[in-house]
């Protein structure tokens, strides 16, 4: 058993399955890894599982992730498993093909393999691995901790057992991207066992990880409601990154504290009755075992370890106003703002759209993000701006199985490109313009990556950039959002974190980003037309900082 002293409630006592979920960018991986490490340090045998294709567990723990359990050096009792989607998909294909009748022709086998080649099968295969762990395929472990993928992906994984059960009951023949029906019938018992384990509060605790931020808390509330509808009732809320200013003369620190307190005071109704744990903002990042072990310690320890830090001024990086100027210099084109969930890509996209309108352009602003916040972020109708959303659920019902991820959309456009080239077979191909051609054309398409000034978001943006480059697409710029270093602070805790932020700035400007633009952490949230417009005006930095003295007078204590 794990001792209760100074531990979060979800570890007193821990259920066998701990299921950490939420959108990206809230510290879910850090909290789940720290929890797994705490259990292992207490003498338990723990398996930490990532179902996230963009997981950075390898960087945090200093090990190479594999599709089989791997022991963590210097952490006896802790093992890590990464469910790699591509590996899982190929394994799934091989198992399904092995179930075909020996008399099946090569053509029939090729047809089945084609049915199993899409994104739907990749997701099904990942769930197949996930379900095996929940149906007790890991009997040697005391606890299994799941660091899940972002919300939309996770919810689909959780809803599959029910959806498949209905499919199996209502069909007795045929095949789909799930594979031949006979193969699914063989796995029905495993899917049922997985759902039973997820729904059993004696076995499973679902931990919703969030930040003390209104948008993140609203997302957590929606996730909580959807999980309850799936039968997962045993939920807890973890608020990661709670902050208390230690220097009341620091306007930025006081504003960060006040915004967090206000967000928690206005907690959505569906979260109010959940047991809640707070994780204080630490002075340092969560890469490495010492930092992870300290994450779930007491707030007093985190603050006591902070020493005065001299914060040197940073090299000046241009803001969004300069980026809007560059984009407006082109007659027309496509602008794609991309990044991991929670880094502020919606804010950046809306601000750039307003900046282009201010510079005389008309803009069609759209999103394919399942958790889109365009309307809530803008809160106004703007002449010259058309806003809409491409709903992945609606569009995929019209076409194929759901994915919801931008890169998979790009993969689909690549398939379209190849099909069109085959159909034209050289006849008039010079007049054909396909989506991949547009995306690769730097004179038409501008790809902008958004990241936060922390190790994990920068690493994930770098991985996204690598994926884009493999597809022949080159990002034109990065935007570093919510930079406390650019805003300026002398609060001891925040100042201690700035050495890490400076390293990430150097990392980006030293080769990762072709161009780097910054958005300082603002004392007023960039929500609504007025605040968003500030970000793209040429006097943006001075405007943003001019409110600091006024905000400092509002002491929440």
For the chain, the domains span: 9-304, 320-552
52 in active site: yes
The separation between CA 185 and the C-alpha centre of its own chain, rounded to angstroms, equals: 33
DSSP state of 282: P
Q: What is the DSSP letter of 9?
A: G
The domain covering 320-552 belongs, at the CATH homologous superfamily level, to: P-loop containing nucleotide triphosphate hydrolases (3.40.50.300)
Other CB atoms within a 10 A radius of the CB of residue 423 amount to 10
107, 157, 277, 333 from 209: Cα distances, Å: 48, 18, 10, 38
Task: Give the pLDDT confidence of 31-70 residue by residue, as tens digits.
Answer: 999 999 999 999 999 999 987 666 677 778 888 888 788 9
Six token digits for residue 89: 């998909």
Among residues 51, 52, 483, 518, the one annotated as catalytic is 52
The CATH number given to 9-304 is: 3.40.50.300
Catalytic residue among 205, 445, 456, 489: 456
Q: CATH topology of 9-304 equal to that of 320-552?
A: yes
The answer to whether 392 touches 370, Cβ cutoff 8 Å, is: yes
- Which H or E run includes 333? none
The catalytic position among 15, 24, 25, 355 is 25
CB atoms within 10 A of CB 304: 10
CA distance 457 to 478: 12
Residue 482 known to be catalytic = no
* Residue reference for tokens 């905000």: 551
Per the residue annotation, which of 28, 340, 345, 482 is the catalytic one? Answer: 28
Q: Is 27 a catalytic residue?
A: yes
Q: Does the active-site annotation cover 136?
A: no
pLDDT digits (tens, 9 = 90+) for 340-367: 777 888 889 999 999 999 999 999 888 7
Rg of the chain on CA atoms, in Å:
24
- Annotated catalytic residue: which of 15, 29, 223, 367? 29
Give mean pLDDT in consecutive 10-residue pieces for the chain, a chain of 557 residues. 66 91 79 92 93 71 83 91 80 76 77 69 71 75 83 56 53 46 58 80 93 87 87 92 88 90 92 92 75 69 46 68 92 88 85 92 80 64 80 53 40 51 55 70 89 84 88 91 85 80 88 90 81 77 42 35
For 22: left if phi > 0, alpha if psi spans -120 to 50, otherwise beta; the answer is: left
Rounded Cα distance between 478 and 515, Å, is: 6
30 is catalytic: yes
Collect all residues with Cβ–Cβ distance below 8 Å to 106 and sequence separation of at least 6: none
Q: Say whether 28 is catalytic.
A: yes
Q: Give catalytic status of residue 400 as yes or no.
A: no
Length of the chain: 557
Q: Residue 448: enclosing H or E segment and its boundaries? A: strand 445-451
Catalytic residue, candidates 24, 27, 77, 183: 27
Where residue 190 falls (left for φ over 0; alpha for ψ -120 to 50; beta otherwise) is alpha
- Rounded distance between C-alpha atoms, residue 152 and residue 405, angstroms: 9
DSSP state of 246: S
């Amino acid at each position: 058993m794990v001792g209760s002293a100074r531990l979060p409630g979800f570890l007193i006592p821990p259920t066998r399955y701990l299921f950490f979920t939420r959108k990206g960018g809230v510290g879910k991986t850090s909290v789940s890894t720290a929890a797994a490490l705490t259990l292992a340090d207490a003498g338990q045998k723990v398996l930490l599982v990532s179902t996230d294709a963009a997981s950075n567990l390898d960087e945090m723990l200093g090990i190479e992730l594999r599709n089989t359990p791997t022991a963590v050096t210097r952490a006896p009792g802790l093992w890590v498993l990464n469910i790699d989607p591509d590996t899982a998909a190929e394994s799934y294909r091989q198992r399904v093909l092995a179930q075909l009748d020996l008399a099946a022709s090569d053509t029939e086998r090729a047809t089945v393999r084609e049915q199993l080649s899409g994104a739907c099968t990749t997701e099904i295969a990942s769930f197949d691995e996930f379900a095996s762990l929940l149906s007790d395929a890991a009997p040697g472990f005391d606890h299994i901790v799941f660091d899940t993928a972002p919300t939309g992906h996770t919810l689909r994984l959780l809803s599959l057992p029910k959806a498949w059960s209905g499919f199996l009951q209502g069909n007795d023949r045929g095949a789909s991207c799930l594979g031949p029906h006979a193969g699914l019938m063989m796995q029905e018992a495993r899917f049922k066992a997985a759902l039973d384990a997820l729904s059993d509060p004696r076995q499973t605790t679902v931990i919703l990880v969030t930040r003390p931020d209104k948008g993140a808390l609203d997302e957590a509330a929606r996730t909580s409601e959807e999980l309850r509808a799936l039968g997962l009732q045993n939920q807890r809320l973890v608020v990661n990154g709670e902050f208390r200013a230690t220097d009341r003369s620091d306007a930025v620190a006081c504003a960060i504290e006040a915004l967090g307190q206000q967000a928690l005071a206005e907690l959505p109704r569906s979260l109010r009755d959940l047991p809640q744990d707070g994780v204080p903002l630490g002075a340092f990042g969560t890469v490495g075992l010492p930092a992870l072990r300290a994450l779930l310690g007491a707030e007093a320890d985190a603050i006591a370890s902070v020493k005065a830090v001299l914060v040197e001024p940073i090299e000046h990086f241009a803001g969004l106003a300069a980026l809007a100027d560059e984009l407006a210099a082109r007659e027309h084109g496509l602008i794609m703002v991309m990044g991991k969930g929670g880094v502020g890509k919606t804010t950046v996209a809306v601000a750039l759209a307003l900046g282009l309108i201010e510079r005389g352009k008309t803009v069609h602003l759209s999103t394919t993000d399942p958790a889109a916040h365009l309307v809530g972020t803008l809160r106004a109708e703007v002449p010259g701006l058309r806003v809409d959303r491409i709903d992945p659920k609606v569009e995929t019902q019209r076409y194929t199985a759901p994915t919801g991820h931008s890169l998979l959309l790009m993969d689909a456009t690549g398939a379209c490109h190849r099909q069109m080239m085959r159909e034209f077979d050289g006849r008039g191909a010079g007049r054909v313009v396909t989506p991949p051609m547009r995306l690769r054309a730097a004179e038409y398409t501008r790809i902008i990556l958004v990241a936060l000034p922390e190790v994990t978001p920068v690493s994930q943006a770098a991985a996204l950039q690598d994926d884009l480059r493999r597809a022949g697409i080159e990002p034109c710029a990065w935007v570093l959002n919510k930079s406390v270093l650019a805003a300026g602070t002398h609060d001891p805790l925040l100042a201690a974190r700035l050495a890490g932020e400076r390293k990430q700035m150097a990392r980006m400007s030293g080769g990762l980003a072709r161009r780097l633009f910054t958005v300082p952490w603002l004392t007023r949230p960039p929500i609504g037309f007025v605040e968003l417009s500030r970000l793209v005006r040429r006097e943006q930095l001075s405007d943003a900082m001019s409110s600091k003295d006024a905000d400092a007078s509002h002491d929440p204590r």
